[in-house]
């Protein structure tokens, strides 16, 4: 399968296959999004994710209602198929003007929260995609830190409840490391969503 899919297409292929296996449509949760983000960022090949989903459904003793139920099976397939080594995800290929326009849109969305970070985003050099992605990642860390610092207590309590509510049904199926990673990534996504802000990454360019 094509390993140069950008994030949106990677997610779409996984969502399509998952809904096909369920044979009925269901909402994709924040946790499901975070799982796909994690697989993509780790460079897990799409083929392995789909095989893991298929395996999870084939041995399920009850209805699979969340993509999170497939975590263990995906990790098993990844371990077994070592010849399909995990590689750093490849960045999407787009014309320079599209990349520059995308960076501009990110900066426009962030400016209402932090003008300095917005200016730094606008200054990202897209001639080197790997360096551009690293710069965006560092700026996203600054943005997340700013959102956490400025969030009021009630917001933080609500976000913790949301994260716990989505993770609790799956705690017994995940390792401590998986739980810690997913909890952190869900916090990030929910903080950004709360402020209507995008992820700062070239993988979301469509």
0.85 cut: is pTM over it? no
* Together in a domain, 106 and 133: yes
- What is the mean predicted confidence (pLDDT) over 29-55? 89
Distance CA 169, CA 35 (A): 15
* Together in a domain, 100 and 200: yes
pLDDT for residue 180: 87
pLDDT for residue 2: 42
What are 9-27's pLDDT values in tens digits? 888 899 999 988 987 777 7
Is pLDDT above 80 for 195? yes
Q: Print the domain residue range for 164.
A: 96-204
What are 109-121's pLDDT values in tens digits? 999 999 999 999 9
Is pLDDT above 60 for 86? no
What are 125-158's pLDDT values in tens digits? 998 888 998 999 999 999 999 999 999 999 999 9
Distance CA 161, CA 1 (A): 38
Q: Strand, coil or helix: what is 137? A: helix
64 domain residue, yes or no: yes
Give the residue, 175 or 135, on which the prediction is more confident.
135
* Together in a domain, 103 and 33: no
Report percent pLDDT > 70 for the chain.
91
- Work out how many domains the chain is built from and give that number: 2
* Together in a domain, 141 and 53: no
């Amino acid at each position: 399968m094509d390993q140069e899919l950008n994030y949106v297409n990677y997610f779409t292929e996984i969502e399509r296959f998952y809904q096909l296996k369920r044979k009925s449509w269901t909402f994709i949760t924040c946790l499901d999004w975070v799982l796909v983000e994690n697989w993509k960022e780790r460079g897990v090949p799409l083929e392995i994710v789909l095989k893991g989903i298929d395996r999870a459904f084939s041995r399920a003793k009850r209805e699979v209602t969340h993509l999170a139920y497939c975590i263990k099976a995906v990790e098993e397939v990844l371990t077994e198929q070592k010849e399909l080594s995990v590689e750093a995800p490849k960045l999407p290929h787009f014309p320079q003007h599209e990349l520059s326009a995308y960076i501009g849109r990110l900066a426009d969305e962030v400016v209402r929260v932090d003008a300095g970070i917005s200016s730094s985003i606008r200054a990202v050099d897209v001639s080197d995609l790997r360096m551009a992605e690293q710069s965006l990642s560092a700026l996203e860390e600054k943005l997340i830190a700013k959102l956490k610092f400025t969030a009021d207590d009630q917001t933080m309590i609500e976000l913790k409840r949301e994260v716990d509510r989505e993770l609790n049904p799956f705690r017994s199926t995940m390792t401590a490391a998986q739980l810690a990673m997913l909890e952190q990534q869900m916090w990030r996504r929910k903080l950004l969503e709360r402020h209507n802000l995008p992820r700062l990454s070239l993988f979301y360019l469509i």
